[in-house]
Amino acid sequence: NKQVLLRDYVSGSAKESDMIVTSSTTKLKLPEGSKGVLVKNLYLSCDPYMRGRMRKSNLSSYVDAFKPGSVSPHTSTYSFICLPPNDFDLKTLQPITGYGVAKVLDSGDPNFKEGDLIWGITGWEEYSVINATRTHFKIHHTDVPLSYYTGILGMPGMTAYVGFYEICSPKKGEYVFISAAAGAVGQLVGQFAKLAGCYVVGSAGSKEKVDLLKNKFGFDEAFNYKEEPDLDAALKRYFPEGIDIYFENVGGKMLDAVIQNIRDHARIALCGMISQYNHEQTEGVHNLMTLVWKRARMEGFLVFEHYHLYPKFLEFLLPNIKEGKIVYVEDVAEGLENAPAALVGLFAGRNVGKQVVVVSHE
Ligand code: NDP
């Protein structure tokens, strides 16, 4: 069983060498009387929030830190031992955990049986024993790529759906701006906004991504924020009448510039602030008082509090995918050994679309 482990807590920018890939030849099996589910991991999701879990003092995050070598509440792999690298304690060795798609090999949980496909939190390893929770979903629709359940049909898709429809309450003709727009969440928010009849502009960090936004995802306009010395001026150029909805993925200077350009009763969905995740302290926003005189709403949300909407979401999205009305771009890394580079690549914008890692195709 090959595994990806966190070497030690990370401060500053996360690096590939903060993780280590180990392997053992020990056969994994369900412990006697276990209520767990033994799975073979197929696809793993690289998500920006995972950076917060690499930090020792994790007070600002909404999920527990990975403890190098400790037991995660979601997966337990007590039943096998893998060869430890020198600086790890054999008894407590545990992989990084994250969202993934997996196939059930054996189950002590009455809700799952051998052959089922599921998505939810699993280990960054070839095989895991999962203690299934309410946020592990059985996959019923397999006529779409299975990897989609790490993205468009999984947590990032739900994030785009909840953040846009529930938090932003879009109306036809409104002006919508999305940052990190070519990523797992942003590309969908833009397409949802077009379906809702809005005018949509996205920002991203390369020409390739800007082209994708305009030519593949149907954004009305897009720009490379790295080539804009004055973000306020750029936004004024694209939104001469101001912004009704901002879907916030990056934070920092971009948020401040957006606030300067909002219209009365604007809504800002605070989805994430990736520009801040490698910093020990969040950088300040200067223009917050504008929210008062514009009577604007800025609201944070956590996707996992909205998973009860998943059936409604599938009902909406599956026909749109099958009819080609919503498209999805993935950036696929092959092999567990490439997972650390794929994860840290998110913070340098190396991914074009949803970053997926293939552990096994079947
Ligand atoms: P992406 O697929 O968009 O990948 C991250 C992208 O962020 C990179 O490709 C890069 O694109 C951009 N980026 C990285 N560093 C910076 C920076 N310093 N400044 C500006 N942009 C940067 O990730 P996701 O779509 O999965 O996530 C998008 C956001 O949504 C994140 O903030 C994430 O934390 C948040 N999120 C929140 C959830 C919730 O429940 N609230 C759930 C899921 C995600 P580029 O080339 O454009 O710079």
> For the domain that residue 39 is a member of, what is the CATH number?
3.90.180.10
- Running DSSP on this structure, what letter comes out for residue 29? -
pLDDT at 277: 94
User: What residue has token string 């957006």?
Assistant: 258
Asked whether the whole model's pTM tops 0.90, one would answer yes
> What's the pLDDT at 135?
83
User: Are both 142 and 241 inside the same structural domain?
Assistant: no
Q: What is the ipTM of this complex?
A: 0.99
* Nearest atom within ligand 1 for CA of residue 226: 48
310 within domain boundaries: no
Number of domains comprising the chain: 2
Residue 179 near residue 225, CB atoms below 8 Å: yes
Atom of ligand 1 at shortest range from CA of 353: 2
How much is the pLDDT for 93?
Answer: 60
Instruction: List the one residue out of 8, 100, 3 whose CA is nearest residue 47.
Output: 100
Q: Residue 21 falls within a domain, yes or no?
A: yes
Same domain (yes/no): 250, 276? yes
Asked if 84 and 172 sit in the same domain, the reply is no
Residues 141 and 159 reside in one and the same domain: no
Ligand 1 pocket, 72 CB below 6 A? no
Domain identity same for 146 and 37: yes
Q: What is the CATH number of the domain that holds 241?
A: 3.40.50.720
Terminal Cα-to-Cα distance of the chain (whole angstroms): 16
The pLDDT of residue 56 is 84
Q: Nearest 5°: phi and psi at 225? A: -65, -20
**CA-nearest residue, atom 2 of ligand 1:** 183
- 243 and 293 inside one domain: yes
- Dihedral sign for Cα 69, 130, 183, 167, please: negative
CA–CA dist 339, 124 (Å, integer): 8
Helices and strands, number each (H, E), in the chain: 9, 15
Domain, as residue range, for 117: 3-151+329-358
Distance (Å, whole) CA 83 – CA 258: 50
**Does ligand 1 come within 6 angstroms of the Cβ of 154?**
no
Is residue 358 a contact partner of residue 42, using CB atoms and an 8 Å limit? yes
Question: Closest ligand 1 atom to the C-alpha of 351?
Answer: 9
117 is written with which tokens? 């496909």
pLDDT at res. 322 = 96
Between CA 80 and CA 358, with CA 14 as vertex, the angle to 5 degrees is: 50
Distance, CA of 222 to CA of 210 (rounded, Å): 6
210 C-alpha to ligand 1 centroid (Å)? 15
Q: Please give the chain's pLDDT, 362 residues, in tens.
A: 899 999 999 999 999 999 999 887 766 788 888 899 999 999 999 999 999 999 887 555 667 888 786 434 444 333 233 333 333 333 346 899 999 999 999 999 999 999 999 999 999 999 999 998 888 999 999 999 999 999 999 999 999 999 999 999 999 999 999 999 999 999 999 999 999 999 999 999 999 999 999 999 999 999 999 999 999 999 999 999 999 999 999 999 999 999 999 999 999 999 999 999 999 888 889 999 999 999 999 999 999 999 999 999 999 999 999 999 999 999 999 999 999 999 999 999 999 999 999 999 98
The amino acid that residue 180 corresponds to is A
The answer on 230 and 254 residing in a single domain is yes
Residue the block writes with tokens 């998943």: 310
pLDDT of residue 284: 84
